[in-house]
Every structure is written in C-alpha cells, then in structure tokens.
Chains A and B, each alone.
Chain A
Amino acid sequence: MNEETPGSVLVTSRGPRLLAGASGRRGVVLSTASTVIVIAALAAIFLLAPGSRQVRHTFLNPADMWHALLGDPRHGYYSVGEALWLNIRMFLAAEVLILILALAVAVIRQSTGPVMLPLRVISTVYVDVARGVPLILIIYALGYGLPALSLRFVSSQSAAVYGVAALVISYSAYVSEVYRAGINSVHQSQVAAARSLGLSHWASLRFVILPQAVRNIIPPLLNDFISLQKDTALVGVLGAIEANKAAELYSDTTFNYSSYVVAAILFLILTIPLARFTDHLIARDRGRRLAGGAR
C-alpha cells in the first residue's frame, strides 16, 4: 500500500498494475495529475448539482453518521458499528464451513468409479441449483422455511444461523468450482507420479494434488470471500441486526440515509485490505512464475 500514490485506492479492482504503466517520474506526475483532475471534476459535478445540498444533508450528514455509527438505544436504533460485528462473525463462520463443504463437493465431483456415482450426481445437481438460484431466495427459503417446519433443533435457530447456512449453500457451489479448477490445474503427470508410487486415488489427492491445487486457487478464493463479506448484509432481510439492517432501522427512525453511508464505509474498511492482499498475492505469484520461467 505504502509505495502507491494516493489515487491508487480508486483503482483497487485492477490493482497496482495500472500504476505500473506509468514509468518513471514523468509517469508518476502525469498519473497523479490526471487522478487529481478526475477527482476534482467529479467533486465539482457533485457539489454543483442542483440537488447537491439536499443529497449531502440526507446521505452525508456528519451528525447523523456519527449517531448511526454509535447507536442510541433510547431512540430505538442500533449501532451500525456494533452490528458489523455480526457480519464479521457470520463471515468467519461461513468461510470455514464453505472451505470444507466446497472441498468435499469438488473432490466428489472429481472422483471416478461407479461407487461414487450417486454422490457425484447429487453434487452436480447441487452445484447447478445453488449457483442458479439467487442468494436472496436461498436466504428467504431457509430463514422462513426452516422455522415453519417446526422441527426440534432445526427450526429454533436465530436468523443469523439461517443466514450463514444460506451463504454456505450458495457460496460452496461457487467455491467448489474454484477448487475443481485448481485440481485440474495440477498436471496429469503429477497424478501419474503419485499413483506410480502406489498411492491410492485419495492419498494422491491429499498429499500431491490438493496441496498444489490450493496454492493455485488462493487468489480466486479470496475474491469469493471479498464478495462473501458484503453478502452477509443480505441476512438483514431475516431481521438479523447486522450493519445494513442497523442502518435501515436508523433511517426508518430519523428519515436520514447517512447511516447507509456509514455501513458502506465500514464494509469498505473490511473488504479493501482483503482486496489489496489478493492483488499482492497475484503479483507475487506472477513474479514467481516469471522467475521460474527464466530458469
């Protein structure tokens, strides 16, 4: 982060590569100048717009932002900052479960032989369905459907638990495909070498293929987790007081939307480090591959 110019935060999604195009001091001056001009132009458009005052009042009101961040139980609204803690916990729980479930699904789909066929079919159908159905519908289905079943343990969980379950179901389908791509990225000759030592299919997978596959998929995996962090906000529809829901409650009470901006900023604070870290890994990987290729 340190070695980048201030403007680079604006181009996070494509990362430091964009700056790399600007070679030498002249390049830095040019890119800084153009960044400043673009920002100034956008700011000017925003400030000079006819409704600017109104928008700034309803969306960017410092006092409202401060209140929303801290919350005030006496006035009936929650702290967006505190609610974010629920997002973080849901994210962490979902992440661990996704890594496990997705790996199982990927390994089953990679398996061969008739014994695994039923599981293979189930996994394939699962991935197709879970990827095809919008996450929000899965959240509704679990959040309202499971309690309605009146089962003993299953139906008495909190909204956050159903939300995490929905996130796990949806994301594991995507992540299993990432794993699968990783497994396929390991060359067949590695399988041959492992099997030729007498290692079973599973042992080859465990000791030879997966360790190499995981290395290859860390960047795409982190990408999915960035998006998972944000999608924890969807669980608010079940009534769980996460950051977005807390912001909604605030605006319902005060008719001011600045609380949403607070939630947005907090989500950014969560996701940007992960995004930077992903870029860093990708760059390092590229560097290694170039160095390796020169051998």
Chain B
Amino acid sequence: MISRTSGGDSPAADTPPAAAALEIRGLHKSFGANEVLRGIDLSVAAHEVICLIGASGSGKSTLLRCVNLLEPVSAGSVYLAGQEITRPGVNENLVRTHIGIVFQSFNLFPHMTVLRNVTLGPARVLRTPRAEAVRQARALLDRFGLLDKAGDYPDRLSGGQQQRVAIVRALAMRPRILLLDEVTSALDPELVAEVLDVIRELAEGGMTMLIATHEMGFARDIASRVCFLADGRIVEEAPPAQLFTEPRDERTQRFLRRITEAGRL
C-alpha cells in the first residue's frame, strides 16, 4: 500500500510504465441505469494542472468523487503514484489522506473553529501531535491571509474566506494531488478572485491539481492541459491555447460557442 513516508514510489507489480501522479484508466460510473462516465482515460503528471470543463451534468464532480473514492467506480481503475487505489481491499482512509478535495459548497465543519477545521485531519488521521498540527495550521492560514480568522467559526466568514479555509484544510494533509470541484461556483462574483489567486499560487508552487471549473478564463491561464468532458468521455484534451482557440471536436466547438455567447470567455 501507499505509505506516507516513502513517497510511494516503491515499484509494485501493477505499476504502469512511468508512474504518473494520477492515472485513470477506462473508468466507468453508473448511478442505477444512468451511466454518467463511460470510459475515462486520463493521466496527470506530477506538478501538472488539469482543468476539466464540460456542461452541467457531464460528470465532472462524479469523476473527482470517484478519484477520491467517495463514489465506488463501476469499472476501470485509478492509480495514485503508480498504485491502484480502486482494487478491493485497499485502505480507503489512507488513500484519501493523499488526495485532497475541495467542494463547491466549502463543506467546512460548522461546529468547529477555523483552526480546528484545519487541524482535525492532521491530528486525528496523521496523528500529528496537536501542538505541531496547530503550528502547521497557523503557518498555512498565515500564508493565505487567514490567520486572524483562526478562532472564528465558519459562519462568521465570507464565502471567499470559507473556501480558502477549505483549501487550507485540504492542504494541511499534505496531499500529493488536490482535486477542486468548481470551487468558485458558489461565490459572489467579487469573491471569486481571492480564491482563484490561492489556486494560482498553489500551481506556481508545483501542486498537482485536477480542477473542475466553469471559469474558462482561469482554465486558460492556469491549466497545463484542459479536458473537455461530454457524453461520459473526455472527448478532447489539449493545452489551453489549443483547446480554446482551435477546438477540434465538434462538441467542444459547440460548448465553447455557447460559453462565448454567454459572455463567459
């Protein structure tokens, strides 16, 4: 199994050639008769930032939740640093410590202060001594300008602040990869920038990220590659410069045209 200390690069029998940070192969996911994902293949190298775009309901959130094992996959496999995490008997809790996820609706724990939100995972899961967990959490909060909120409860914070805390909470686990699910969609327009700035900073720091987003301008700026999701598959995958200016697939063209008409690109 993936350990927290060795960096997880120990070769295993099922290691794919050059171990990508994250490798998704032939992933299928159905909810009852509704087949949402119909064979997703995607490889994310370390330090890459992948943006997932696609119409509402195209399965972006579902894909991220499958990667995080919050949803069991129907078929196919996911590899984290070369090790399959979708095989039966895997320690899901351990896997999740390596994969951070930030949700559209923040999902902070309302009964805990900001500091407790951030230290819960390290203290309870990683068994970091409390004083050390607090020190690290305060350092992270400080880095993102949230230190003065450490003692506040989430409902005292603006949406932008809450989402930044949620990002810090995920980072406190020192994940290998960060999944971001439309993290600005629930925010008032004037609060979007502060959250996007945080993500930009993380990208510059070399964080590996898989980002579902409706912010096309942001995707164009930040992504190493952009994947367009439709009909349960990644129908087009290209660097942003290419995908946004000369999309090849007809469905991508149609999607981008609609977005442009809506004034969102």
Contacts and interface: CB of A to CB of B under 8 A. Distances in A.
A197 B121 contact: yes
Interface of B: 65, 68, 70, 93-94, 96-97, 99-101, 103, 105, 107-111, 120-121, 124-126, 155, 169-170, 173
B227 to A, nearest CB: 22
A196 B120 CA distance: 12
Nearest to B121: A197
A197 B173 contact: yes
A199 B120 CA distance: 9
Most B CB contacts (10 A, CB to CB) among A190, A193, A194, A292 go to A193
Contact of A192 (B107, B108, B126): B107
Contacts of A215: 111
Contact of B97 (A198, A203, A211): A198
A207 interface: yes
For chain A, what secondary structure do more than half of its interface residues adopt (helix, strand, loop), or is it mixed? helix
Most A CB contacts (10 A, CB to CB) among B70, B105, B124 go to B124
Across the A-B interface, give the 4 residue pairs with the lowest CB-CB distance, nearest first.
Answer: A197-B121, A193-B107, A198-B97, A198-B125
Contacts of A207: 120, 124
Contacts of B68: 196
B121 A198 contact: yes
Given A197-B97, A197-B120, A207-B124, A192 B111 contact: no
Interface in A180-235: 189-190, 192-200, 203, 207-208, 211-212, 215
B93 A200 contact: yes
A207 B199 CA distance: 28
Nearest to A193: B107
Contacts of A196: 68, 70, 96, 99-101, 170
Nearest to B100: A196
A208 B111 CA distance: 8
Nearest to B116: A207
Contacts of A189: 103, 105, 107
A75 interface: no
B103 A197 contact: no
Given A189-B107, A208-B109, A212-B110, A292 B155 contact: yes
Contacts of B121: 197-199
Give the interface residue-count category, chain A. Answer: 10 to 19
A25 interface: no
6 contacts: A197-B96, A198-B96, A198-B121, A199-B120, A199-B124, A199-B125
A193 B93 contact: no
A295 interface: yes
A193 B124 contact: no
Contacts of B108: 193
Contacts of A190: 107, 109
B154 to A, nearest CB: 11
A289 to B, nearest CB: 11
A212 to B, nearest CB: 5
B199 to A, nearest CB: 17
Contacts of A197: 96-97, 120-121, 125, 169-170, 173
Contacts of B170: 196-197
B70 A192 contact: yes
A195 B155 contact: no
A193 B109 contact: yes
B176 to A, nearest CB: 13
Most B CB contacts (10 A, CB to CB) among A198, A200, A211 go to A198
Contacts of B105: 189
A211 B109 CA distance: 10
B149 to A, nearest CB: 16
A198 B94 CA distance: 6
Nearest to B110: A212
Contacts of A208: 109, 120
Contact of B173 (A194, A198, A203, A212): A198
A194 B111 CA distance: 13
A207 B68 CA distance: 21
Nearest to B105: A189
Given A192-B65, A203-B124, 15 more contacts: A190-B107, A192-B107, A193-B107, A193-B109, A195-B96, A196-B68, A196-B101, A196-B170, A198-B93, A198-B94, A198-B125, A199-B124, A208-B109, A212-B111, A295-B155
